[in-house]
Amino acid sequence: MDNKQEILSLNVRGLNNLAKRDAVREFVVSVKVNVVALQETHLAVFDPFMVMQCLGPSFDGFAYLPAQETRGGILLAWDSSVVCVDQVSFDTFSLNAEVTAPGGEPWWVTVVYGPQRKEDKFLFLRELEERRALCIGPWLIIGDFNMILRASEKNNDNLDLGMMARFRDFVRSMELKDLYLHGRLFTWSNARENPTLTRIDRALVSVDWDLAFPDALLQALAASLSDHAPLHLSLNNGFRPKQRFKFEVFWTKIPGFQEALAEAWVCDDSIVDPFKRLDALFRNAAASLQAWSQRSVGNIKLQLSIANLIILRFDAAQDRRQLLPGELWLRNTLKATVLGLSSLERTIARQRSRMRWLREGDANTKLFHAIANGRRIKNFIPAIRVDDQLFTEQEDKEEAFF
């Protein structure tokens, strides 16, 4: 996609004040998003002028759930040059819509503002369960849930264990994933001298949404406008850290490995610093072993595809004529090669996995890749600050760490 989809979710704690609207608009413009989901607007009516006043002129599409006697209220606004939003519907505690980007598949978004009362929380979760039956396909739920999933999401022991269990049951039964939040442990504070901190703002996604947007990155921003931290969700962040070197255990069983390793373990004699010398040795060895592996083993998936294609051609030819002895030998050899390559590919997947319960048959499932991708996003470092300088580019971060 040419345009990146960027979503901002924030409990604004009211937009009645003109100064608050100006502050929200300046903040939205500064973070450069094209979809905004605001909760607790305290407004019963929105018009295009008010939306522009709160968010800026680029947000030419909007839908809202009115506040009830200055309580609650949800606003969903978008830049129609980047995304198309339609099929808007409303529930008691949420606003729902279908989102489509140019050239992309549609997906559903539900913006929530969870209730405070315990009995209403049960109605809120039941309402979301019913909404899922109407939102078929990739689904994102984002906003202020006014609930926590785990005890670690609150900084004191005043916990409602029953409601936590009910919320976890909802997430499990709906097969949702809690997107990892970069930057903060908690998203709300009561701003007292000994504050209560909780993580009640979050984004939950379905499995198919997670697979559709594997590079989605959720970050918490500075809570300058409200007692809630804004959530910035980049759907196609496109971060691609350099491919890490992976030593494959099966390499040691391939003839020529010891010789290749001996040739690779070299570095420039002019490097005298022991740490830099060790770094150079590891880098040179990694590059040399990867090149040796490509020559000795090659691309397993490509070899499997080629072998299967040739076998298919032989099978098609056999429908019309008898295969020659050389063709029969090649087909049988390729069949044995396919079995060997498949076993090797399964072994590599198992060795790379840190999931103890992974069985051989699960080595290439979507679940395996989704969990591996989630670990990669969780380990990603968006930025590093050294003194007063902030580094966000990959090469700058590497240099700062070094």
Q: How far apart are CA 129 and CA 126, in angstroms?
A: 5
Q: Where in the chain is the domain with CATH 3.60.10.10?
A: 6-234
Which residues lie closer than 8 Å to 150 by C-beta, 6 or more apart? 164
Q: What letter does residue 98 receive in the DSSP assignment?
A: E
Looking at residue 239, its pLDDT comes to: 59
d(CA 150, CA 42): 29
* Position 18 pLDDT exceeds 60: yes
Q: What is the pLDDT of residues 126-161, one digit of tens each?
A: 999 999 989 899 999 999 999 999 999 999 999 999
Does residue 304 sit in helix, strand or coil?
A: helix
Closest listed residue to residue 364, CA positions, set 290, 304, 296, 287? 304
DSSP H/E element including 184: none
Contact by Cβ (8 Å): 95, 62: no
CB atoms within 10 A of CB 153: 18
Residue 144 confidence (pLDDT): 95
- Note the pLDDT of residue 299: 81
Cα separation of 387 and 402, whole Å?
15
Share of the chain above pLDDT 90, in %: 48
| Measured distance CA(75)–CA(397) in Å, rounded | 37
Per-residue pLDDT of 158-172, as tens digits, reads 999 999 999 999 999
- Average model confidence (pLDDT) across the chain: 87
For the record, the structure tokens of 151 come out as: 């005890």
pLDDT category at 361 given cuts 50, 70, 90 is very low
What is 6-234's CATH topology?
Deoxyribonuclease I; Chain A (3.60.10)
Tokens of 182: 């970069």
Question: Does the pLDDT value for residue 281 go beyond 80?
Answer: yes
What is the pLDDT averaged over residues 255-275?
A: 89
Indicate if the pLDDT at residue 358 is higher than 80: no
pTM for this one?
Answer: 0.69
CA distances, 347 to each of 16, 327, 352 (Å): 61, 30, 9
